[in-house]
């Protein structure tokens, strides 16, 4: 376990502060998200009409913004419908089920179909579990390609914690801390972010290097 974690830590480069936040190089690829990553960066007709699913904090918005830049797409929200429908650009819709205007989305999808434009929808809920009032929209979405981000694996957990703590100017050099965390943390993206926030607060309070005894106060 320690050797594996040390190898992951060696592969992590700390250039986050000089790279745009949603740069392609700032996205960590692991078994948990490689299918979604490969799908998003693959430029072919197969992913012209797609839905990307991922739990909250899983990086789906990051991937969506990478897709937006690669495809020169416009970002749609409920306030810019008229502008988007006239611009004839590819369209990216993040968290499309939140505050959904079904009529507008249905027309946007038809707009893309009729003008040979691409559209990517991101969601943190499974579309199959969502009940649409507009049956035509539900039918349209069934023709979309679907790709999902899985629960975080060891590699992704280590890299995410490293990255998030680095942003707070906290660096962990002790692989045993990660071994301890990996055995105890709930494997959700939300819990990773919560742990990092707790570590940040504890670090500010204690004002000393992180150790396993300190981490034990948190999980």
Q: Residue 17 pLDDT > 60, yes or no?
A: no
pTM of the model: 0.85
Q: Residue 7 pLDDT > 70, yes or no?
A: no
Tell me what pLDDT residue 5 has.
59
Q: Distances from the Cα of 179 to the Cαs of 140, 183, 212, 216, in angstroms? A: 46, 6, 10, 12
Phi, psi angles (nearest 5°) of residue 177: -65, -45
How many CB atoms neighbour CB 185 within 10 A? 18
Tell me what pLDDT residue 185 has.
93
Burial of 20 (0-12, 13-18, 19+ CB in 10 A): exposed
Tell me what pLDDT residue 184 has.
92
State mean pLDDT over 93-116. Answer: 95
Tell me what pLDDT residue 76 has.
95
List pLDDT tens digits, range 119-140: 999 999 888 889 999 999 999 9
Structure tokens at 71: 């495809």
Helix (H) / strand (E) containing 193:
helix 189-206
State mean pLDDT over 158-167. Answer: 91
Alpha-carbon distance of 16 to 13, in angstroms, equals: 8
- Residues whose CB falls within 8 Å of the CB of residue 26, separated by 6 or more in sequence, listed in order: 16, 19, 20, 62
Residue ranges covered by each domain of the chain: 2-13+152-215, 34-148
Burial of 116 (0-12, 13-18, 19+ CB in 10 A): exposed
List pLDDT tens digits, range 24-64: 778 999 999 999 999 998 866 567 899 999 999 999 999 99
State the architecture of 34-148 in CATH terms.
Answer: 3-Layer(aba) Sandwich (3.40)
Q: Residue 19 pLDDT > 50, yes or no?
A: no
């Amino acid at each position: 376990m320690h050797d594996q974690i040390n190898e992951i830590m060696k592969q992590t480069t700390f250039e986050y502060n000089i790279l745009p936040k949603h740069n392609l190089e700032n996205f960590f690829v692991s078994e948990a998200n490689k299918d979604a990553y490969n799908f998003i960066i693959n430029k072919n007709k197969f992913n012209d009409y797609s839905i990307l699913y991922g739990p909250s904090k899983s990086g789906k918005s990051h991937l969506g913004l990478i897709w937006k830049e690669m495809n020169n797409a416009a970002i749609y929200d409920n306030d810019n419908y008229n502008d988007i429908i006239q611009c004839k650009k590819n369209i990216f819709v993040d968290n499309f089920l939140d505050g959904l205007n079904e009529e507008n989305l249905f027309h946007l999808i038809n707009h893309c179909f009729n003008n040979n434009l691409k559209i990517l929808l991101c969601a943190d809920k499974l579309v199959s579990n969502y009940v649409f009032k507009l049956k035509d929209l539900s039918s349209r979405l069934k023709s979309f390609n679907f790709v999902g981000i899985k629960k975080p694996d060891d590699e992704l957990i280590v890299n995410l914690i490293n990255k998030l703590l680095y942003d707070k100017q906290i660096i962990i050099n002790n692989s045993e801390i990660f071994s301890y965390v990996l055995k105890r943390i709930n494997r959700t993206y939300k819990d990773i972010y919560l742990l990092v926030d707790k570590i940040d607060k504890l670090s500010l309070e204690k004002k000393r290097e992180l150790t396993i005894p300190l981490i034990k106060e948190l999980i």
